[in-house]
């Protein structure tokens, strides 16, 4: 067995060394551009006028490459659905899960009660301001879900209202698609953010539909992470 292991390691090592030479030539052949390439320059110049967003990255994510982002949200949606399928087939008997845990301490429970509203608010802040400052729907959603995780840690036996999570997940996704289609009807194309007025540059209510989309993404991501956590928590060994 050991010999098998080492031969495998040797093969892997040789392979990766060869792959490494390819990477090496990529690195040595790389030189940073002196100026922005034409795509980046277009974004730098036109983002304010076209999308009204201060954060160029957000403009790219939500608008110019909005289709990617829709796909990204779908990745999480899929993962949540499949994790539920994978784990759902080996679900623990009702009421049995989590029972093996020691109750969490007083500190954690009290802390959770105090921190949870703040965490949720912080998450919301991050995604609402995504078009202005670093951050956005994914980051905000992850923060929301961390609140949920805290809740689970504080009370392992707790059950979320599954229906609520799923409804949030579905509705936010559905609205996201509908906003995209609205872009086709009332603006330049699928996921065009100019269905709403661009407003004044730098204000919270600006950049057309970007804050709206990021809010939906935030809710959806939060819901999806929560539902993955929930699926994991429901397994027998949890």
Q: Using CA of residue 133, residue 138, residue 142, residue 144, what is the dihedral sign?
A: positive
Residues of this chain, 14-33, that bind another protein according to CB under 8 A = 15-16, 18-20, 22-30, 32-33
Q: How many residues bind another protein (CB under 8 A)?
A: 104
Q: Which of 41, 110, 164, 200 binds another protein (CB under 8 A)?
A: 41
- Residues 136, 156: Cα–Cα separation, whole Å: 29
Question: Are 165 and 234 spatial neighbours (Cβ–Cβ below 8 Å)?
Answer: no
- Residues 137, 220: Cα–Cα separation, whole Å: 9
Under rule CB under 8 A, residue 112 binds another protein: no
Residues of this chain, 75-94, that bind another protein according to CB under 8 A = 75-79, 81-90
**Alpha-carbon separation of residue 231 from 29, 58, 81, 89 (angstroms):** 46, 31, 9, 11
Q: Which is nearer to another protein, 106 or 237 (CB)?
A: 237
Under rule CB under 8 A, residue 164 binds another protein: no
Instruction: For the CB of residue 121, give the shortest distance to another protein in the complex, in Å.
Output: 23
Q: Which is nearer to another protein, 122 or 166 (CB)?
A: 166
Under rule CB under 8 A, residue 174 binds another protein: yes
Instruction: For the CB of residue 20, give the shortest distance to another protein in the complex, in Å.
Output: 6
Q: Tally Cβ neighbours within 10 Å of residue 71.
A: 11
């Amino acid at each position: 067995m050991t010999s098998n292991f080492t031969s495998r390691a040797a093969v892997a090592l040789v392979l990766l060394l060869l792959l490494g030479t390819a990477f090496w030539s990529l690195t040595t052949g790389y030189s940073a551009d002196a100026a922005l390439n034409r795509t980046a320059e277009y974004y730098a110049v036109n983002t304010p006028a076209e999308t009204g967003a201060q954060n160029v990255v957000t403009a790219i994510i939500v608008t110019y490459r909005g289709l990617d982002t829709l796909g990204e949200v779908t990745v999480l949606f899929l993962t949540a659905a499949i994790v539920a399928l994978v784990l759902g087939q080996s679900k623990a008997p009702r009421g049995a899960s989590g029972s093996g845990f020691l109750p969490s301490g007083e500190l954690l429970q009290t802390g959770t009660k105090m921190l949870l509203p703040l965490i949720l608010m912080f998450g919301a802040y991050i995604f609402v301001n995504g078009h202005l400052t670093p951050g956005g729907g994914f980051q905000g959603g992850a923060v929301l879900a961390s609140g949920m995780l805290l809740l689970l840690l504080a009370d392992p036996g707790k059950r979320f209202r599954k229906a609520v999570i799923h409804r949030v997940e579905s509705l936010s996704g559905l609205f996201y698609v509908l906003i995209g289609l609205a872009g086709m009807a009332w603006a330049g194309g699928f996921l065009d953010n100019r269905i709403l007025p661009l407003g004044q540059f730098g204000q919270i209510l600006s950049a057309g539909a970007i804050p709206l989309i990021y809010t939906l993404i935030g809710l959806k991501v939060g819901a999806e992470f929560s539902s993955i956590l929930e699926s994991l928590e429901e397994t027998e060994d949890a």
